[in-house]
């Protein structure tokens, strides 16, 4: 491994970790291995703490590739609970309203799904890192302040229904950078004349990198600590 010239490290981000938590853990392991105090490490595409899956971490000069990786197509497996909403559109916050869902059938879901495929406009969740007057929207939302966000253009290539039973809906989603799956859950719930929020999210692909290429954070740290090291120009 040549961390200075640059390595691309693929991690299956654990549930409950921020993307920065993973970067910090990797950076710390590299700094200890190389016996240096500062080292450049970054990630290509944030995952929410309650999401798992593909997280691309770049080291050294490979951080120049972060923007290219971020622009890659993303694939997610998303689990939705129909008939209830939360302020964050996921499990970060408690259910704030419940709606009828007995009228929702698979045929109805298949009828509304196409309206979310293609070039679409999406309003981001207020519990997001979008900036409002220089401040993160989630900080304002957590303080109980009203946050109004503008719709953003994005592209959703495909939405496939994997499972549907009672009020549980599982989707495979292929989409562009900037897509909020939590917001998509919100919008699908509304289109079904009900409510919905995200109960699980797993990113299974970013560009050319699949979840099958990823290692656990513990396995990654073990390789950093014990694997062979290459040094440039030596």
Summarised one tens digit per residue, pLDDT across range 177-192 is 989 999 999 999 999 9
CA distance 231 to 79: 44
For residue range 199-214, what is the model confidence (pLDDT) as tens digits?
999 999 999 999 999 9
Confidence of residue 130 (pLDDT cuts 50, 70, 90): low
Q: What is the dihedral of CA 60, 130, 88, 149, to 10 degrees?
A: -160
Does position 137 have pLDDT exceeding 70, yes or no?
Answer: no
Q: What pLDDT score was predicted for residue 4?
A: 84
Does position 87 have pLDDT exceeding 80, yes or no?
Answer: yes
CA distance 211 to 4: 25
DSSP-assigned letter for residue 60: G
Q: What is the dihedral of CA 26, 29, 33, 36, to 10 degrees?
A: 80
Verify whether residue 48 is a known catalytic residue.
yes
- How many CB atoms are located within 10 Å of the residue 103 CB? 9
Q: What pLDDT score was predicted for residue 216?
A: 96
Which of these is catalytic: 2, 12, 21, 48?
48
Confidence of residue 148 (pLDDT cuts 50, 70, 90): confident
- The predicted model scores a pTM of 0.91
Q: Which two tokens stand for residue 156?
A: 């959703």
Q: What pLDDT score was predicted for residue 234?
A: 39
Q: Please give the mean pLDDT across all residues of the chain.
A: 91
CA distance 5 to 60: 6
């Amino acid at each position: 491994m040549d961390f200075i010239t640059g390595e691309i490290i693929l991690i299956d981000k654990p549930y409950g970790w921020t993307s920065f938590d993973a970067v910090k853990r990797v950076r710390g392991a590299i700094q200890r291995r190389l016996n240096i105090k500062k080292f450049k490490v970054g990630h290509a595409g944030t995952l929410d703490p309650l999401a798992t899956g593909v997280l691309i971490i770049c080291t050294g000069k490979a951080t120049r590739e972060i923007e290219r990786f971020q622009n890659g197509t993303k694939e997610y497996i998303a689990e939705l609970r129909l008939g209830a909403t939360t302020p964050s559109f996921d499990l970060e916050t408690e259910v704030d309203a419940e709606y009828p869902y007995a009228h929702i059938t698979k045929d109805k879901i298949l009828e509304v799904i196409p309206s979310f495929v293609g070039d679409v406009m999406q309003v981001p969740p207020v519990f997001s890192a979008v900036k409002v007057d220089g401040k993160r929207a989630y900080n304002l939302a957590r303080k109980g302040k009203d946050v109004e966000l503008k719709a953003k253009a994005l592209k959703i290539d495909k939405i496939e229904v994997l499972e549907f039973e009672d009020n549980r809906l599982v989707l495979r989603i292929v989409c562009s950078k900037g897509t909020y799956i939590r917001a998509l859950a919100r919008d699908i719930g509304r289109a079904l004349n009900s409510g919905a929020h995200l109960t699980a999210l797993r990113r299974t692909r970013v560009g050319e990198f699949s979840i099958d290429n990823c290692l656990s954070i513990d396995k990654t740290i073990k390789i950093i600590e014990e694997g062979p090291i290459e040094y440039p120009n030596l």
